[in-house]
Structure 1
Amino acid sequence: MNAVVLEEFKEPLDVREVERPEPESDGVVARVDGCGVCRSDWHCWQGDWDWFGYRPDPPHVLGHEPCGTVIEVGPDVENVREGDEIAIPFNFACGNCSLCRNGHENICENHIGLGFMNEAPGAFAEEVHIPNADINAVPLPDEIDTDTAAGIGCRFMTSYHAMAHQGDVGNGQDVVVHGLGGIGLSALHIADALGANVIGVDLMDEKLDKAEELGAVATVDAEAVDDPAKEVQDMTDGGADVSVDALGIETTCRNAVDSLGKNGTHVQVGLTTSDEQGIIPLPTDEFVAKEITFVGSLGLQPSRYPEMLDMIKTGKIDPTELVSETIDIHKIPDRLDAMTDFGTMGIPVCTEFA
């Protein structure tokens, strides 16, 4: 089958033939119907994230934002059937550890990152394997087709968890999102649907315009002002209730934290590059003086997908609004290369793999 294969970090990616996966006893194989092309795939291609175990040994198939149709089922799978259309979280869970049993499957003790770890070859391929399928293969309601589901991979579902659960946004709160890539625009769209007044911050006019289309009450061009955080402070009469760093560099993280008012909550979604290696200096005394809360957010628990899917069914949120283009598998390397200079917007989705 065709797949996008990482042969060597930072070197050109190749589309080539690889062996199709076989299901483990508790797993299934799905035909990939759609897979988002994400900046996290770019990070993996660059060789980032070895500091927390997301650095596979080449050769390795990339891709972590799929939806699909089940085509083969392991003998020990109880609740998934051939022909089921499914969403596929990137944060594979075991279902047995204490975190999974208490509703935190996204940070499972035995977490396996699809496309990021040797144990889980990715979904830039015609087919993908899903382990522990009774946990990790999320059935799609009949009302949600695969074209819609193709937009709910990592960036959208991660943003849902970040806003609905970790940030607990709503009730007219002021929310500011720094970095309007796929995650940032998704977070903005979802926060707006949850009842927040959302401000988007970025350097690129087209992303700021898209933020307004998705419901931003205001935007800040970070390149056109001396202090983006001060702009947000002024707009919100003292600071936002919730801030989001959707990019993961020192500048956006610090600006997001500095945008908060007293008793605010910062949600960190963006992961860092090799420049930061997971370490960013923060104003800890401000955290104390303002009683600021800093929380991380990773993926979305499979058990909480129904919340998000219900909001999609009722039209409150719409992942297709974030899909910027559909492409075939041979264009994935070019789209990832464009991310080196932040040259993509929204969520490109691959829908043709043959």
Structure 2
Amino acid sequence: MKAVGKLRKGPGIDVFDVKKPKPGSNEVLIEVRATGICGTDLHFYHWDDFAKKRNPGFPKVLGHEFGGIVVKVGEGVKTLKVGDRVAGEPHIPCGNCYYCKVGKAHICENLKIYGVDTLYGSFTKYTIPPESIAVKIPEDIDFETAALFESFGVALHAVDEANIRPGDVVVVLGCGPIGLYIQQLAKLSGASKVIGVEVSKYRLELAMKIGVADELIDASSTDPVKQILKITNGRGANVVIEASGSVIAIKILL
């Protein structure tokens, strides 16, 4: 079967043949029905320092956002069976460090990401994640939506941590996929005004087309802090969520 990933060091991406994998202990074989491209995958395309440090070897199949059907289960699997529809939650915590033991496995000291720190990912027909990261989904959720669950979960966690209250003014720095999710969730949480800040013309146009934000600021041509103060009559925001990964955005937030 065909796969997309890396066969060698250096920039670029490869399409190559791989054998259909067999699930090992506590693994499930999933027929991938939909998969998403994450910014993390682009690190491997560009072969930057992140990719060099995290690459586990070759050949490597990329992809970690997916939806599919369980077609076989390995020894020890207890929560899934053949025919189950699942979404991937690619984070694999160690279960032994301090943060795992206090219920904060998302910041595990030894966290691994399926499709990043593993040789197998979801950019192929069949993949073999651990049972623990394949989440069963109901029949009324399509696989394309399931493939968005992981990135949407990042946004949901951010909004939960922000504790947005009805009437809050919320500023979202970044109008990429996660930033747009956050804008929608902020509205659903009762925000009276949502302000999106972005430097990319393409992303600003997309945010405008989606139409969730009450105001959009082009930070490439204007001072976002001054604009936010102007929009809010000098009061500023109750909540600011950084969703761009930019150092400059973090300085704006502070």
Residue 195 (structure 1) aligned to one of 153, 170, 190: 190
Correspondent of 2:231 among 227, 230, 235: 235
Could you list the runs of 5+ residues in structure 2 that have no partner in the other structure?
none
Cα distance in 2 between the residues matched to 1:120 and 1:112: 12
Out of 173, 181, 184, the residue aligned to residue 186 of structure 1 is 181
- Alpha-carbon deviations, 1:220-264, whole Å to 9, x = none? 011221x11221233233322222222222222222x14xxxxxx
Query: What's the CA shift string for 1:25-46, capped at 9, x where partnerless?
Result: 1111111111111112112332
Instruction: Write the letter of the residue equivalent to 2:217.
Output: V
Post-superposition Cα deviations, 1:147-183, rounded to whole Å, max 9, x if no partner, equal: 3212223x2221111112x222232222212221122
Letter in 2 for 1:92: I
Larger RCO: 1 or 2 (CA < 8 Å, sep 6+):
1
Unaligned regions of 5+ residues in structure 1, if any?
259-354
Q: Answer whether contact 1:188 1:214 (CA < 8 A) is retained.
A: no
Deviation at 1:8?
A: 3.5
What TM-score do you get using the length of structure 1 for normalisation?
A: 0.64
1:148 equivalent in alignment to 2:145: yes
Q: Within 5 A, what are the aligned runs for 1:327-338?
A: none
- Aligned counterpart, 1:285: none
Residues 47, 55 of structure 1: 8 Å contact kept: no
Give 2:128's aligned residue.
129
Q: Quick one: distance in 1 between partners of 2:68 and 2:98? A: 29
Task: Give the drift of 1:102.
Answer: 4.3
Give matches, 1:203-282, under 5 Å.
Answer: 203-212=199-208, 213-225=210-222, 227-236=223-232, 237-255=234-252, 257-258=253-254
Q: Give the drift of 1:67.
A: 1.3
The letter for the 2-side match of 1:48 is D
What is the letter of the counterpart of residue 16 of structure 2? R
Counterparts of 2:229 and 2:2, CA distance in 1: 50
User: Residues 28 and 73 of structure 2 are in contact (CA less than 8 Å); yes or no, is this contact kept in structure 1?
Assistant: yes
Q: What is the one-letter code of the residue matched to 2:198?
A: D
Letter in 2 for 1:35: T
Q: Deviations over 1:256-282 (max 9, x none)?
A: x14xxxxxxxxxxxxxxxxxxxxxxxx
Q: Let me know the Cα RMSD of the aligned residues.
A: 2.3
Contact 1:31/1:126 (CA < 8 Å) preserved in 2? yes
Report the CA distance shift for 1:148/1:253 in structure 2 as closer, same or farther (over 3 A). Answer: same
CA pair 244-82 structure 1, distance change in 2 beyond 3 A: same
Structure 1 position 74 matched with structure 2 position 74: yes
Shift of 1:203: 2.5
User: Is the CA contact (8 Å cut-off) linking 1:181 and 1:247 kept in structure 2?
Assistant: yes
3-state SS in 2 of match to 1:220: strand
